[in-house]
Structure formats: C-alpha cells, structure tokens
C-alpha cells in the first residue's frame, strides 16, 4: 500500500494543492464530516508527513492528493488503523469513528 499517515517530523510541504472547482471546494467545506476530518488530520499531526495540502513531505508515497483514486475507503481505514510501510498504527490513538471520518474524507480525494 502506498498510504502513509504519520506524525514524522516537520518541514515545509513540497508540491501544490490539487486544483478543485469552486463548487467542489464549497461542497467539501460545507460537509461537517469533512470539516471534522480535516481537523483530525491537523490535530493528529498527519500534516507532518503529508503536508497541509496533502502533497506529501517525505516522498511520493506520502502524497494523498488523489488517494481516493488509488485506494478504497476501507483500504484507507485499514492503513490508518494498522500502519505499515512507514505509517504508524493509529487504532489505539484515534477512535473507529474518527478513522471512518478520515478515510471517507481521504477517499473523496480523486
């Protein structure tokens, strides 16, 4: 798997945010579940490896801008829960509900 959500250090983000239509951006910003997922992404320090714009900071495998076109929501949730390939385990750190919010939000990135 190529997904890695980890709190693995600081630095600046490489790359740029994916281009979205204003309607798609507005829809995402108005979805309370996606707003909560973005907050979780920040508070759990996922941006340390993935960047605030999801472009990745520690190699191409950490780029999540189009992760939803590569992995299903279930695959993303599994990676968050169980880690692997540089990704730490989060099943004891964040709740099942939070993992679900994160995986659905990331799966929308296509």
pTM of the model: 0.74
pLDDT, tens only, 12-56 = 334 444 444 444 455 566 799 999 999 999 999 999 999 999 999
Alpha-carbon distance values, 72 to 7, 15, 26, 48, 106 (Å): 22, 24, 23, 23, 9
The secondary structure of residue 20, as a DSSP letter, is: -
- pLDDT tens for 44-98 read 999 999 999 999 999 999 999 999 999 999 999 999 999 998 999 999 999 999 9
């Amino acid at each position: 798997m190529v997904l890695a959500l980890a709190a693995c250090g600081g630095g600046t983000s490489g790359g740029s945010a994916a281009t979205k239509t204003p309607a798609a951006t507005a829809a995402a910003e108005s979805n309370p579940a996606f707003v909560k997922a973005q907050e979780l992404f920040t508070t759990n320090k996922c941006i340390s490896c993935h960047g605030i714009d999801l472009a990745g900071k520690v190699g191409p495998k950490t780029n999540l801008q189009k992760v939803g076109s590569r992995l299903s929501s279930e695959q993303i949730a599994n990676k968050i829960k169980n880690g692997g390939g540089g990704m730490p385990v989060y099943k004891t750190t964040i709740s099942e509900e939070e993992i679900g919010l994160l995986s659905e939000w990331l799966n929308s990135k296509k």
